[in-house]
């Protein structure tokens, strides 16, 4: 059984990393927050959306996301 990973990239994530991932794996399912209605949205909403859509959130914002994720569990 194969599981396809799906990603949601927050606005502060390094786009060089996103470009590198897509260069290596062009069919990778990556959605950037700034390309959607999530642009400018607070972190808790972005995290909720990733969970609702079954996506892994890619972020560099570990201080905020750690606290939010902990409070949601």
In this predicted structure, what is the pLDDT of residue 16?
Answer: 97
Q: Quick one: pLDDT at residue 63?
A: 73
d(CA 52, CA 43): 14
pLDDT of residue 65: 65
| Per-block mean pLDDT, blocks of 10 residues, the chain (73 long) | 87 95 95 94 89 92 64 54
Q: Using alpha carbons, select from 30, 27, 23 the residue that is nearest to residue 9.
A: 30
């Amino acid at each position: 059984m194969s599981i396809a990973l799906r990603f949601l990239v927050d606005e502060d994530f390094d786009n060089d990393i996103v470009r590198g991932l897509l260069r290596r794996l062009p069919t990778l399912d990556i959605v950037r927050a700034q390309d959607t209605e999530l642009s400018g949205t607070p972190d808790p909403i972005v995290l909720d959306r990733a969970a609702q859509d079954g996506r892994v959130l890619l972020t560099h914002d570990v201080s905020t996301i750690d606290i939010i994720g902990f409070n949601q569990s």
